[in-house]
A and B are shown apart, each in its own frame.
Chain A
Amino acid sequence: MTPVYMAAGDIPTPHIEYGRLAPVLIVLGAACVGVLVEALAPRAQRYGLQVLVSVVGLVAAFAWTIALGIGDQPHHVAAMGAVGVDGPTLFIQGTILVLALMSMLLIAERRHEDSPFTAQASTVPGSPEERESLVAGLVQTEIYPLVLFAVGGMLIFPAANDLLTMFVALEVMSLPLYLLCGLARRRRLLSQEAAVKYFLLGAFSSAFFLYGTAMLYGFAGSVRLSEIAAAISKQGGDEPLLLAGVALLSVGLLFKMGAAPFQAWKPDVYQGAPTALTALMASCTLVAAVGGVLRVFYVGLETLRWDWRPMMWAVAILTMLVGAIVAITQTDVKRMLAYSSIAHGGFLLTGVIATNKAGLSSTLFYLAAYGFTTVGAFAVITMVRDAGGEAGHLSRWAGLGKRQPLVAGTFAFFLLAFAGIPLTSGFTGKFAVFQAAMAGGAMPLVIVGVVSSAIAAFFYVRVIVLMFFSEPLADGPTVSFSPATATAVAVGAFVTLVLGVIPAPALHLAQSAANQLFVR
């Protein structure tokens, strides 16, 4: 009978700092409003109301995050220690919210066709019912609350200060994504296959996460990250229970960010999912997952870093190489960007491994920079369309630069940013993480990083050459303009340029966010 749990009379009233949790609460509240809109509003008004609710919710949450960041109150853990609202967390949450807003522009797009999502999720692909629902012009407006649920989970995930909260957040963020992956409007079988793969592998990785949590609880007697850290420094780090727990927990976390050898889901899911949703996953989910990795490894396992570093070195090297090398053989634009995203996960890990302030701030900067570029790139993909939907195959992009120089040029700019060419945000980000890794004594890692950047540059340049230096196809894809998508592209390109040319303010912001490190 542990006295801590039994002495109900002496304990203070449970206290939740609603102000510090407000961004999360606003987003989840907006999701609930969305559910009620779906239930109560007439069908014709749903689209408008849902978009309004989502955008207002995300903007309000972002404004509150800014306010929390400006307010110079000392950061501390909130909600009975379940979440830590601190500089890095606020930076990550703000990034997620802005990127979610940009993705929302793509998700709500209905200039290209009625919606990027299927008209009726329950109809069998190719069935008469599906045709009927398409003709009737139905749209599945439930996607907006589901996206908001996922974003809410992403906001809690990097803030979670104990593994239990982190697990619940992981599920809140993953479950809607599993579902939304299967709701593409075109090529629905591919989309459903992606959803099933993502779901099965995701459930598997959640099991790893839970088993690791259970083992760490067995080791430390608590799931709180700070207490795990305390137990490690007290009992030493060579306990098999601890090492196995860390390994299993890392599998669960690394799966979410798609690091090799847990990257297998990424190309299939990114390809099959609706492109608007792929933009959300490639930006926000990656930011949230890396945020969670940062917190676990910087707060919970920092004292154990000499034990996990070799493992993370191997994962980072493998991730960079697999991402860069396999991308060369890809013929589908979305698959290629998926492998590029895997490689970028490796670059991010080099920043994580540094385990110092520079590592933290450079990883934060890299996350923001990469997020904007990737949303912009996927937005361009939604614009380049054939009769059957988006022109996915790379051969269809041949000569696009001659017919649509602006669109192709912007895409080329994004690709150069992915490759890390100077004057783009990609260069600044890579430079920052490599510098931090070097300061942390990870020279071989930096060399592998530079080599795989060079390999990756090869296929980015190949696409650029394809777009600008080959003859346009006679029946080539058309470019479908729309204000919302164009805005997303413009914002992505603008931020990529600004962070490349004058990175100092953003770097400074990331540094001041990282200055306090994570709260415990």
Chain B
Amino acid sequence: MTAADLVIVLLGVVAVGAGVLVVATRQLVHAALWLVVSFGALAGSYLVLTAEFVAWVQVLIYVGAVVVLLLFGIMLTRAPIGRSEDLDSGNRIVALVVAVATAGVLVTTLVRGFRSAYVPIKDRVGSGSSHTLGGSLFQTWVLPFEALSVLLLAALIGAIVLSRTDIGGAGPEPEEEEPEPRRRPAAPRGTVARRLGTARRRATPDDEDTIVLSRVDEEI
């Protein structure tokens, strides 16, 4: 076992452990942050496998952009930032059994399929560079690449359609994604603030959104 093997095993343990914590933690925001750890460990594994470009893409897109998107998604909901006790579903035993069984089947398949396959990594250095990737991307995969831009465009239009209001002259409107606003469970006062290190600022003219939203809250 070389040092590279050892590192990749360690990174794998971190990735899987963080992945388990993503679903096991009782705090939504922490779940998103554990995802960062999991993605980061995956990026590390790509690096060890000499897939340099993919590794940095993983950092840029997943750790950078996608997790930010997820955090924004959480902030849009009325989920409390602290510990929520109702995150566990009643089906969790069944879900656990299904998940473990699926993982068992997939891992067995992969192990059986690739047991004899061994690629000396040292020979593959450079095969994951942006140059190689560019070669195959613009040679073989031109059409999927262009189709991808269509996908991005469609998603962008969709996101704007869902979030924009233009009722003439009505000014900024409070908007929520959740169709049925429910009263958020009252988080224990103080603990939340302390954990986050930031209490809600008091109303100042800069804070228009907070005011609008709190007004909506009171109306409900």
Q: Do chains A and B touch in the complex (CB under 8 A)?
A: yes
Which residue numbers of A lie inside 8 Å of B, CB to CB? 1-2, 5-6, 8, 11, 14, 16, 21, 28, 31-32, 35, 38, 79-83, 120-125, 129, 132-133, 136, 138, 140, 142, 145-146, 149-150, 152-153, 156, 164-165, 168-169, 171-172, 175-176, 179, 183, 188-189, 192-193, 211, 215, 218-219, 239-241, 244
Q: Is the interface of B mostly helix, strand, loop or mixed?
A: helix
Contacts A80-B140, A80-B142, A179-B162 given; does A6 touch B113 at CB 8 Å: no
Residues of A within 8 A of B196 (CB): none
A2, A124, A125, A150: residue with the most chain B Cβ atoms closer than 10 Å: A124
The count of chain B contact residues (Cβ–Cβ below 8 Å) is 48
Contacts A122-B162, A140-B161, A240-B113 given; does A164 touch B154 at CB 8 Å: no
Residues of A within 8 A of B179 (CB): 124-125, 188-189, 192-193
- How many angstroms between the C-alpha atoms of A81 and B105 in the bound complex? 33
Q: Is the CB of B132 within 8 A of A5?
A: yes
Closest to B114 in A: A218
- How many angstroms between the C-alpha atoms of A169 and B136 in the bound complex? 19
Residues of A within 8 A of B160 (CB): 142
- How many angstroms between the C-alpha atoms of A133 and B170 in the bound complex? 11
Contacts A5-B127, A136-B168, A211-B106 given; does A179 touch B161 at CB 8 Å: yes
Known A-B contacts: A156-B143, A215-B110. Give 15 more (CB < 8 A): A1-B127, A5-B136, A6-B135, A16-B142, A28-B150, A80-B141, A82-B143, A82-B144, A120-B165, A129-B173, A149-B154, A165-B147, A169-B147, A175-B151, A179-B158
Jot down 11 A-B pairs with beta carbons below 8 A, ordered by A: A1-B127, A5-B132, A5-B136, A16-B142, A125-B179, A129-B170, A146-B157, A149-B150, A176-B158, A192-B179, A240-B113
Residues of A within 8 A of B153 (CB): 32, 35, 149
Contact of A244 among B109, B123, B173 (CB under 8 A): B109
Q: Is the CB of A132 within 8 A of B167?
A: yes
Contacts A168-B144, A168-B151, A218-B113 given; does A138 touch B138 at CB 8 Å: no
Within B105-157, the residues touching A (CB, 8 Å) are 105-106, 108-110, 112-114, 123-127, 132, 135-136, 138-144, 147-148, 150-151, 153-155, 157
Residues of A within 8 A of B163 (CB): 122
A2, A35, A80, A122: residue with the most chain B Cβ atoms closer than 10 Å: A122
Within B14-32, the residues touching A (CB, 8 Å) are none
B126, B164, B165: residue with the most chain A Cβ atoms closer than 10 Å: B165
Q: Does B175 contact A (CB under 8 A)?
A: yes
Contact of A172 among B150, B161, B165 (CB under 8 A): B150
